[in-house]
Amino acid sequence: MWSDHETDQDFLGFTHLVKAVTDVIVRDDLLPATIGVYGDWGGGKSSLLKMVSADLSAREDFLVLQLNGWLFEGYDDAKTALMETILDEIASKKTLTARGRSLFVGLVRRVNWLRVAGKVVKYGAGFAMAGPAGIAAVTALEAAELLKKAGEKVGEVDAEEVKQLLKEPEQEVRRGIREFRRDFKELLAETKLKALVVVIDDLDRCLPDTIIETLEAIKLFLFVPHTAFLLGADERLVKYAVRRRFPELPGERAEVGRDYLEKLVQFTVRVPSLSRFEIETFIALLFAKNCKVPEDGLKKACQWALATESINQGRAFNLSAAKTILGEGKLPVGLEEALTLTARIGPVLANGLNGNPRQCKRFLNTLLMRLSMARSRTIELKQSALAKLMLLEYFRPESFRRLAKMQADSDGKPQQLKLAESHGRSSAADDGPKKPAVEPGRAAPAKRPEPEPLEPEMEAWLNDEWLQMWLALPPFLAGEDLRPYFYFSRDQLGVTIGSAQRLSPQAQEALRKMLQESDGVRKLALTHAKDLNSADAAAVFEELANQMRQSDDLSDENSELKRLFEWVGARGDLSAQLVLAVRSVSDSSLPVFAVSGLLTACKGQNGEEPAKQLIRQWAKSSGNQKLKRAAEGRVKTFDAAGK
């Protein structure tokens, strides 16, 4: 398996991005500078920052400090926490002159003064209201009490400074900022550094106040010559933090966040989503490393995959390339099988995960974990068969759930799956190139027998473009005993892979909004639903479906069922999954609006016909009379329209 942490080994083709960042930092005329490294969660920002750090650390007189935004979470004042951390790092990694040590001590004291200043202004309003005469009358004892209330140790800041701060708070704070910048600039000059590079990663995972205070600390206190700041974040979440932190600012949300960032960040580097061939190459190189390809062979493979010719031609590192580079018959054990698997599932993961390397890695880690668990029980699972089932689990969770029940009822070999694969192959053959007409005098080939008819539920699979692709994907599972696969896929790890655990931050935010009572908040989530990749959209769907199944009352207009209808209304590609999810709930639990809600969510999508079939079943049901009458009314409408 592979670590989920950042790496400085470039399997993603980030060389040009690394150079774009370092080219700014090594030019003294472009400093000071703040560089925003933006990209989606799991897109490779942290790895890019680590590669940049490794490059700059190897250069003479470049001091690189790597910090995490989470480090400052939980502090009352993230600004001073950041400043204090940077000073400590400089002192621990550079030998300071006597003048440098003096400046360092003074700067640490100024940081403490700034921390106290914020609290004194907050807690000293009562003194300030008394006016200049009242402030002048503040005794040293009262100033000490004020410091104590502010949470600071008496003696670290002089009482006279507190009195002056109460008298002219704004002027004193501005003076403190100017003096800190002056001394910080001198300290860096004493270190003889070409550049101090501060890398702050995961800024977007902090609370809005921490994000803003970190950015303000950089701009107000630390932005002096010979400094560069690298910020790793999802740009959208930082803009969201700006609006949360400054709700009073005029203008559209996107405009305010954009303008704020443009004032603080001079250069931007956006990490793009990986293309299909880049994802295939990434997965192939991961397997090559896992199969213990020698270091020189792995280096050659990377060079081949990231060469200009490979990029221009859109060619992925595959089995053929591996044999050419590593030598025919010299592939490590397991690599040929792994690269064959990569060719099959790589395109599916690339499309479904929007080229997200972290989610690809997590998929593969889960795959290998399950294979390992099976081997521990002396059970050998076929890697390709397990991978195919996991694709269904990730992207069509309700179909996976239904297949689990079907195989359990059929001793692991569901007949309907066999028929569906047969229908899928027939459809693919019908859509393929037409063969020339039979020549005169030659016997016509035997007509291919028509596959047995499918049950209505499985016909829905053939109406779903993704499921059609999945059915046609090798290997075919018709003759495979699926019981051990579902045992290790479900009994050990839950009903699905654990949709809540694999939600990206964007998907977590979408789910949080979908669970809100406010219609406006839910509409905001639905507006951005189309921006989620297929796996995240399916994971949000599964969480909502699980809550629907666990609900005691679905009749409320704000119930989990309504939220599920709303989500599928925005993500029509999940409409067939919606039908399966609703079918899994007892008719007696369903409210009357289930009829109209299901039809509205599935209208014009691949789930529309299965939805109508389900409603026809409800019309024949006797378990829920209200639902039955509503369904009967709709069936009459279908029949009148000839549908």
- Model pLDDT for residues 613-639, shown as the tens digit of each residue: 899 989 987 678 899 999 999 988 888
Q: What tokens appear for 324 in the block?
A: 């050419």
| pTM of the shown model | 0.73
Residue identified by tokens 């939980």 is: 74
Tell me which residue of 131, 85, 137 sits closest to 111, measured CA to CA. Answer: 85
Contact 128, 166 (CB under 8 A): yes
In this predicted structure, the answer to whether residue 441 has a pLDDT above a threshold of 70 is no
Between 113 and 33, the higher pLDDT residue: 33
Q: Answer whether residue 116 is part of any domain.
A: no
Q: Answer whether residue 397 is part of any domain.
A: no
Segment 532-550 shows an average pLDDT of: 88
pLDDT of residue 439: 52
- The mean of the pLDDT values for the chain is 80
Instruction: Show the beta-strand stretches assigned E in 272-393.
Output: none
Burial class (CB in 10 A: 0-12, 13-18, 19+), 21: buried
pLDDT of residue 264: 83
In this predicted structure, the answer to whether residue 19 has a pLDDT above a threshold of 60 is yes
Tell me which residue of 514, 502, 611 sits closest to 567, measured CA to CA. Answer: 514
- What is the DSSP track for 41-70? TTSSHHHHHHHHHHHHHTSTTEEEEEEEGG
What is the rounded distance in angstroms from the CA atom of residue 612 to the CA atom of residue 631? 9
In this predicted structure, the answer to whether residue 449 has a pLDDT above a threshold of 80 is no
Q: Answer whether residue 295 is part of any domain.
A: no
- Model pLDDT for residues 38-67, shown as the tens digit of each residue: 888 788 888 899 999 999 999 888 999 988
Residue 69 vs residues 40, 181, 332, 378, 565: alpha-carbon distances, Å: 16, 22, 41, 45, 37
Tell me which residue of 17, 286, 312 sits closest to 301, measured CA to CA. Answer: 286
In this predicted structure, the answer to whether residue 608 has a pLDDT above a threshold of 80 is yes
Instruction: Look at residues 240, 270, 300 and tell me which one is the last residue of a structural domain.
Output: 270
Residue 196's pLDDT band, with cuts at 50, 70 and 90, is very high
Instruction: Look at residues 270, 296, 324 and tell me which one is the last residue of a structural domain.
Output: 270
pLDDT of residue 497: 44
Q: Answer whether residue 440 is part of any domain.
A: no
Q: What tokens appear for 302 in the block?
A: 């990377």
What is the rounded distance in angstroms from the CA atom of residue 524 to the CA atom of residue 508? 14
- Model pLDDT for residues 159-171, shown as the tens digit of each residue: 555 555 555 555 6
Between 71 and 434, the higher pLDDT residue: 71
pLDDT of residue 123: 45
Q: Answer whether residue 532 is part of any domain.
A: yes
Instruction: Look at residues 231, 251, 270 and tell me which one is the last residue of a structural domain.
Output: 270
Asked if residue 250 has a cis previous peptide bond (ω within 30° of 0), the answer is no
As for how many domains the chain has, the answer is 2
Burial class (CB in 10 A: 0-12, 13-18, 19+), 137: exposed
DSSP letter at 196 equals E
CATH of the domain at 86: 3.40.50.12060
Q: Answer whether residue 85 is part of any domain.
A: yes
- What is the DSSP track for 517-570? S-HHHHHHHHHTGGGS-HHHHHHHHHHHHHHHHH-S---STTSHHHHHHHHHHH
Residue 209's pLDDT band, with cuts at 50, 70 and 90, is confident
- Model pLDDT for residues 255-312, shown as the tens digit of each residue: 666 777 778 888 999 988 888 888 888 888 888 888 888 888 888 988 888 888 888 7
Task: Domain of residue 549: give its range.
Answer: 515-640
Residue identified by tokens 């889960």 is: 366
- Model pLDDT for residues 399-432, shown as the tens digit of each residue: 898 898 888 888 889 888 888 888 766 655 555 4
In this predicted structure, the answer to whether residue 136 has a pLDDT above a threshold of 90 is no
Strand 62-68 relative to strand 267-270, pairing:
unpaired
What is the rounded distance in angstroms from the CA atom of residue 381 to the CA atom of residue 197? 49
Question: Which neighbouring-strand residues pair with 37?
Answer: 232, 269
Q: Answer whether residue 236 is part of any domain.
A: yes
Residue 172: how many CB atoms within 10 A of its CB? Answer: 19
pLDDT of residue 168: 52
In whole angstroms, what separates CA 186 from the centre of its chain? 41
* 173-181 long-range Cβ contacts below 8 angstroms, 24+ apart: 173/114, 173/117, 173/121, 176/110, 176/113, 176/114, 176/117, 177/114, 177/220, 177/221, 179/110, 180/83, 180/107, 180/110, 180/111, 180/114, 180/221, 181/220, 181/221, 181/223, 181/224
Residue 150: how many CB atoms within 10 A of its CB? Answer: 20
Query: Rounded to 5 degrees, what are φ and ψ at 197?
Result: -110, 115
Which amino acid belongs to residue 15?
Answer: T
Q: Answer whether residue 76 is part of any domain.
A: yes
Asked if residue 347 has a cis previous peptide bond (ω within 30° of 0), the answer is no
Residue identified by tokens 């300290």 is: 187
What is the rounded distance in angstroms from the CA atom of residue 254 to the CA atom of residue 251? 8
Residue 202's pLDDT band, with cuts at 50, 70 and 90, is confident
In this predicted structure, the answer to whether residue 35 has a pLDDT above a threshold of 70 is yes
Residue 128's pLDDT band, with cuts at 50, 70 and 90, is very low
